[in-house]
């Protein structure tokens, strides 16, 4: 945990900040506390008991609850009393980055921290919001209330008791929402990881054209570990995989053992593909010759 939390100047002038300011001093203190307290996580989703907020801000417990309700109604985030988890919706964007490259070391750290979070109602909603920006590998469906991205809860009323377990939420503006991935399919790898989203789509495309149906789970692990898997790279890999499939029977007929998908991926064999500039009717099988040269270690 760093010694400071980033608070942009637009917090004071933006639409959400103005709404919070209109709720009074306690609301402003609690909002700033959620972004800067020593227990926070850069993800913006972390464990924070209400009595601790009250103690460290100096605001009585009932005042703390009222402040939380008001800032979350302004669209700032959500709090679940049952799990004692708070989620500041846009905190990860400001503390980490709006978008990360898949090769960024922080992507692995974010995935690890997300998987380590205790069960709470906001896990799936967090995934929905940040899956694409942070390349999240797995969607966790937390138990509890409905996703705060889908419907706001009823406002906290004066009749609520301290023992009631409430979830203070506000709907996220449409512009902030990520595509809904509730029914997203996944494929479990040999290392018990999950291929999802575009990675899964591209892997399925590769698996179909490679057409050697052995070792799929191991191949999925290798596919997950390809850095910066752009559309151009996927096209290149799939074209090479298709060429590999077409010549596989010839390799078997010559007594050679075909590469399984995992070894083919890890060996970056798509980079071995050579397009012949010779005509098809010159009587020379250049692809076979090149394959033999590779097997003999001559190229």
**pLDDT tens across 173-209, in order?**
433 333 333 344 788 888 888 888 889 999 999 999 9
Classify strands 85-88 and 77-80 as parallel, antiparallel or unpaired: antiparallel
Q: What is the pLDDT of residue 21?
A: 84
pLDDT at 98 over 60: yes
Range of the domain at 66: 9-176
With H, G, I as helix, E, B as strand and everything else as coil, classify residue 87.
strand
Q: Which of 155, 176, 197 is where one domain is finished?
A: 176
The closest alpha carbon to 236, from 268, 214, 194, 258, belongs to 268
Judge if 123 and 218 occupy the same domain: no
Over its C-alpha atoms, the chain yields an Rg (Å, rounded) of 26
The string of pLDDT tens digits covering residues 110-139 is 999 999 999 999 999 999 999 999 999 888
pTM: 0.51
Q: State the average pLDDT over residues 91-96.
A: 90
Distance CA 22, CA 15 (A): 11
| Count of structural domains, the chain | 2
Q: Which of 125, 146, 176 is where one domain is finished?
A: 176
Q: State the average pLDDT over residues 91-100.
A: 90
In a domain, residue 26? The reply is: yes
Judge if 191 and 114 occupy the same domain: no
In a domain, residue 3? The reply is: no
Q: What is the pLDDT of residue 293?
A: 66
Q: Which of 129, 146, 176 is where one domain is finished?
A: 176
Q: What is the pLDDT of residue 292?
A: 67
Judge if 209 and 101 occupy the same domain: no
| Cβ atoms within 10 Å of 132's Cβ, excluding its own | 14
The string of pLDDT tens digits covering residues 63-89 is 999 999 999 888 899 999 899 999 999
Least confident stretch, 40-49, 80-89, 151-160, 219-228: 151-160
The string of pLDDT tens digits covering residues 25-36 is 999 999 999 988
Q: What mean pLDDT is reported for the chain?
A: 79
Judge if 97 and 132 occupy the same domain: yes
Q: State the average pLDDT over residues 37-53.
A: 93
Long-range contacts of 150-158 (CB under 8 A, 24+ apart): 150/125, 152/73, 155/69, 155/73, 156/65, 156/66, 156/69
């Amino acid at each position: 945990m760093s010694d400071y939390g980033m608070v942009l100047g637009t917090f004071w002038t933006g639409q959400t900040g103005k709404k919070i300011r209109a709720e009074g001093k306690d609301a402003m203190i609690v909002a700033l506390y959620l972004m800067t307290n020593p227990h926070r996580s850069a993800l913006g989703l972390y464990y924070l008991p209400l009595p601790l907020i009250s103690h460290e801000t100096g605001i009585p417990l009932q005042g703390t609850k009222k402040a939380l309700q008001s800032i979350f109604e302004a669209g700032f985030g959500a709090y679940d009393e049952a799990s004692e988890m708070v989620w500041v919706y846009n905190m990860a964007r400001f503390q980490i980055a709006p978008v990360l490259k898949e090769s960024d070391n922080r992507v692995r750290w974010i995935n690890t921290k997300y998987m380590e979070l205790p069960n709470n109602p906001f896990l799936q909603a967090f995934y929905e919001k940040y899956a694409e920006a942070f390349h999240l590998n797995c969607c966790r469906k937390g138990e509890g209330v409905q996703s705060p991205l889908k419907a706001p809860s009823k406002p906290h009323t004066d009749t609520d008791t301290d023992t009631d377990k409430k979830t203070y939420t506000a709907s996220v503006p449409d512009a902030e929402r990520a595509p809904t991935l509730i029914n997203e399919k996944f494929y479990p790898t040999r290392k018990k990881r999950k291929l999802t989203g575009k990675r899964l789509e591209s892997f399925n495309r590769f698996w179909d054209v490679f057409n050697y149906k052995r070792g799929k789970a191991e191949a999925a692990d290798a596919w997950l570990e390809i850095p910066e898997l752009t559309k151009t790279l996927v096209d290149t890999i799939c074209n090479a995989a298709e060429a590999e499939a077409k010549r596989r029977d010839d390799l078997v007929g010559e007594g050679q053992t075909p590469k399984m998908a995992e070894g083919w991926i890890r060996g970056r064999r798509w980079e071995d593909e050579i397009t012949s500039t010779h005509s098809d009717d010159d009587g020379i099988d250049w692809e076979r010759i090149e394959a033999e040269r590779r097997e003999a270690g001559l190229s």
